[in-house]
A and B are shown apart, each in its own frame.
Chain A
Amino acid sequence: MAQQAQQSEILASDAALGTGTSVADRARDNALERGRLRATPGFYKRAWRRLRRDKVAMVGLVIVVLMVLFSLSAGLISEYVTGYSYSQNNLRMTLRAPGEDGYILGTDGNGRDILTRLAYGGRVSLRVAALAAMATLVIGAAVGSAAGFFGGFIDSILMRLVDVLLALPGLSLLILITALYKPGPILLAFVIAALGWAGISRLIRGEVLALRHREYVEAARLLGSSNTRIITRHILPNVMPIVIVWLSLAIPGLILTEATLSFLGLGVQVPIPSWGNMLQEAKDNYTKSWTGVFIPGFAIFITSLAINLLGNGLRDALDPRLNN
């Protein structure tokens, strides 16, 4: 949560550096000056070209894709590779080291196959993080664009609410809520979102505020476009780059939040595996099996690192102003 707040704050300061022109506009202006608008590929196409040259970001992208594929194929792995289900105990085969007795990544304290659980755990962890990110984004975008676009009374009410949310001891409240209500994975994602949308809404508000009085928005208004149309067709597309970067930097934070809660025994509940609660169970046997602790934590680490690297690359690719 806090990492997330810090990241979005860094992002906000980045955004503040160049208030005024949006990236897409600038690119279009440059293209117009050179008099070959038609020949210039689209904004996202050029961003993708820039991203492709960024080796570190591409490594991140590959790891992310591999992790997602690994998690999505959990059922196949259980069926064809390991032959165990994620909840199948074998008390005569506990705490096997990787490779021992045919267990590729070993077994945990209940003799369950770690590789199978890692794949299923990834599915739960990534799903919670992705869902939480989407829900956060929907709330944040709605509040942020309403506050930025309409301004005045609505703006001050919504931004006071944001102030309160930012002052909340987030993790403390999450611990309390999860301890009391024991939510399932989906509800957990929404609870995280309900407490965490303040940062992105402020970011979007700032962006919308800057875009609201641009000439093309005025032009659209003169042509008789409704507010809804102006927001969805003219403003939100220009907020997209910053949203994409925010997403890529927020998801690692959300993965860590879910893992932290599950690690404290409060997030995703056993027997459903998540990377966090696998670590929680493994920590009871840390003197006997260090691999049991290492493997799920490494999965969390490498995934959030890969997304962070990709996010850094995306920020550079989507915002040429920040290239230095």
Chain B
Amino acid sequence: MGRFVIRRLLQMIPLLFGITFLTFAIINLVPGSPVTASALNPRMRPEDRERIIENLGLNEPWPQRYVQWVGNVLQGDLGLSLKNSIPVTDTILSVLPNTLLLTGVSLVLAFVISIPLGIYSAIKRNSWFDNTVTVAATAGYSVPTFWLGLLMIILFGVKFQQWGLYSLPFVGHRSLRETGFLDRVEHLILPAIALAVVDLAGWTRYIRGQMLEVVRQDYVRTAHAKGLANRRVLFGHAFRNALLPLITLVGLSLPGLFGGAFVIETIFSWNGIGRLTVNAANESDYTVVMGTTLMFALLILVANLITDIGYALLDPRIRLE
């Protein structure tokens, strides 16, 4: 197991190089540079422009700058933001907890709801409950996250307030004045639900299918035959085996979850890494974009590794070599 983890960690290195090199190339092959727009600024003297270009190191060819960037990253330095000169490492570390909180809560939400729904749906196969769940899951799978988020804002934020009902906050991750726990929870509800819907729907469908598959297995029939109670068979024998492939699915869902965070954070003004990336990309703040891309790539790679390890720990048939 230890050797497997080490080898996988080593395999991540070329992958990270590939991803960051590609991103760096995409950024730098674009015509113009972060200072191109300033040429139109009549109050900027040409020598100032030269100085800025010099300071940003833009005179050197980009492959050379990539090597420098890598060297700095290895020392934990992602450079300075082109817009506000704040170290990118600091910016990312200050917003990362917010993103992890939002995605974490969504993940738990999707997990906790989809498992009982999927199992019950499979048990009551072709009942009205099962049909409703199946249709709802397909609908949830097709719904655009950002549209759902906006509708939730309009209904639970704006309309409820107009109607004099209890309305939920939908801007930011906490109130400016209040910082209590309850306030944080209130701010989490809408974005976390909006973000959870896609995975919730997908997993419910998947668990239902897995359960139907497992219930037909011989060992389930044996369990029934030896007179175990229905509950015991379902939860002791069938459910545990149906759950295994879900681990892979959770791992596969993570990139999508972070992708969803881009839009949800933008809509709900959630001060996270997704919103940071979208804003930085729109403002051509390349150092920040490089930093967040590296961060996302790392998160995905680590999540995949954890998925594989979890799978091996839970399924004795799988040997990590």
Instruction: List the interface of chain A (C-beta within 8 A of B).
Output: 1-3, 5-6, 9-10, 13, 163-164, 167-173, 175-177, 179-181, 252, 256, 259-260, 263-266, 279, 283, 286-287, 290, 293-294, 297-298, 300-301, 304-305, 307-309, 312, 324
In the complex, the chain A residue whose C-beta lies closest to that of B198 is A3
In the A-B complex, the 5 residue pairs with the closest CB atoms: A2-B256, A297-B147, A179-B281, A171-B259, A305-B142
Q: CB-CB < 8 A to B249: which residues of A?
A: 6, 9
Establish whether residues A169 and B296, one from each chain, have CB atoms under 8 Å apart when the complex forms. Answer: yes
B27 interface contact, C-beta 8 A = yes
In the complex, the chain B residue whose C-beta lies closest to that of A161 is B18
Cα distance A312–B202 when bound, in Å?
A: 13
Establish whether residues A168 and B263, one from each chain, have CB atoms under 8 Å apart when the complex forms. Answer: no
Contact of A263 among B27, B151, B263 (CB under 8 A): B263
Q: CB-CB < 8 A to B258: which residues of A?
A: 169, 171-172
Select the stretch in B66-74, B111-119, B174-182, B297-305 that faces chain A: B297-305
Establish whether residues B263 and A305, one from each chain, have CB atoms under 8 Å apart when the complex forms. Answer: no
Q: CB-CB < 8 A to A290: which residues of B?
A: 154, 159
Q: CB-CB < 8 A to A265: which residues of B?
A: 282
B141 interface contact, C-beta 8 A = yes
B contact residues, range? 35 or more
B19 interface contact, C-beta 8 A = yes
Residue from A5, A264, A293 whose CB has the most chain B CB atoms within 10 Å: A264
Question: Smallest Cβ distance from B86 to chain A, in angstroms?
Answer: 20
Known: A3-B198, A301-B143, A305-B138. A264 touches B154 (CB 8 A): no
Known: A164-B18, A305-B139. A6 touches B252 (CB 8 A): yes
Establish whether residues B154 and A170, one from each chain, have CB atoms under 8 Å apart when the complex forms. Answer: no
B121-165 vs A, CB cutoff 8 Å, 1 = contact: the mask equals: 000000000000000001101111111001101100011000000
Instruction: List the interface of chain B (C-beta within 8 A of A).
Output: 15, 18-19, 22-23, 26-27, 30, 138-139, 141-147, 150-151, 153-154, 158-159, 198, 202, 206, 212, 245, 248-249, 252-253, 255-260, 262-263, 266-267, 277-278, 281-282, 284, 289, 292-293, 296-297, 300-301, 304
Q: CB-CB < 8 A to B284: which residues of A?
A: 179-180
Establish whether residues A173 and B293, one from each chain, have CB atoms under 8 Å apart when the complex forms. Answer: yes
Q: CB-CB < 8 A to B15: which residues of A?
A: 163-164, 167
Cα distance A30–B281 when bound, in Å?
A: 57
Cα distance A71–B104 when bound, in Å?
A: 39
Question: Smallest Cβ distance from B297 to chain A, in angstroms?
Answer: 5
Establish whether residues A283 and B256, one from each chain, have CB atoms under 8 Å apart when the complex forms. Answer: no
In the complex, the chain B residue whose C-beta lies closest to that of A9 is B252
Establish whether residues A264 and B263, one from each chain, have CB atoms under 8 Å apart when the complex forms. Answer: yes
**Beyond A264-B278, A293-B150, 14 additional pairs, beta carbon < 8 A:** A2-B260, A3-B141, A3-B202, A163-B15, A169-B258, A169-B300, A263-B146, A290-B154, A293-B147, A293-B151, A297-B151, A301-B144, A305-B139, A324-B212
Cα distance A181–B277 when bound, in Å?
A: 16
Known: A164-B15, A167-B15, A168-B19. A175 touches B154 (CB 8 A): no
Question: Smallest Cβ distance from B226 to chain A, in angstroms?
Answer: 25
Known: A6-B249, A168-B19, A263-B263. A177 touches B150 (CB 8 A): no
Q: CB-CB < 8 A to B253: which residues of A?
A: 2, 6
Q: CB-CB < 8 A to B266: which residues of A?
A: 264
Q: CB-CB < 8 A to B260: which residues of A?
A: 2
Question: Smallest Cβ distance from A220 to chain B, in angstroms?
Answer: 36
Cα distance A96–B18 when bound, in Å?
A: 51
Q: CB-CB < 8 A to A266: which residues of B?
A: 281-282
Known: A3-B256, A6-B202. A171 touches B297 (CB 8 A): no
Q: CB-CB < 8 A to B255: which residues of A?
A: 1-2, 5, 169-171
Q: CB-CB < 8 A to A264: which residues of B?
A: 262-263, 266, 278
Cα distance A1–B212 when bound, in Å?
A: 28
Cα distance A252–B317 when bound, in Å?
A: 36
Establish whether residues B27 and A176, one from each chain, have CB atoms under 8 Å apart when the complex forms. Answer: yes
Cα distance A256–B260 when bound, in Å?
A: 11
In the complex, the chain A residue whose C-beta lies closest to that of B254 is A2
In the complex, the chain B residue whose C-beta lies closest to that of A167 is B15
Cα distance A308–B297 when bound, in Å?
A: 29
In the complex, the chain B residue whose C-beta lies closest to that of A300 is B144
Cα distance A32–B303 when bound, in Å?
A: 50
Cα distance A298–B159 when bound, in Å?
A: 19
Question: Smallest Cβ distance from B246 to chain A, in angstroms?
Answer: 12
Cα distance A245–B92 when bound, in Å?
A: 41
Residue from B15, B26, B144, B145 whose CB has the most chain A CB atoms within 10 Å: B144
Question: Smallest Cβ distance from A275 to chain B, in angstroms?
Answer: 9
Q: CB-CB < 8 A to B146: which residues of A?
A: 259-260, 263, 279, 297
Known: A176-B27, A177-B26, A283-B150. A10 touches B206 (CB 8 A): yes
Cα distance A157–B282 when bound, in Å?
A: 35
Q: CB-CB < 8 A to B202: which residues of A?
A: 3, 6
Q: CB-CB < 8 A to A13: which residues of B?
A: 245
Question: Smallest Cβ distance from B313 to chain A, in angstroms?
Answer: 21
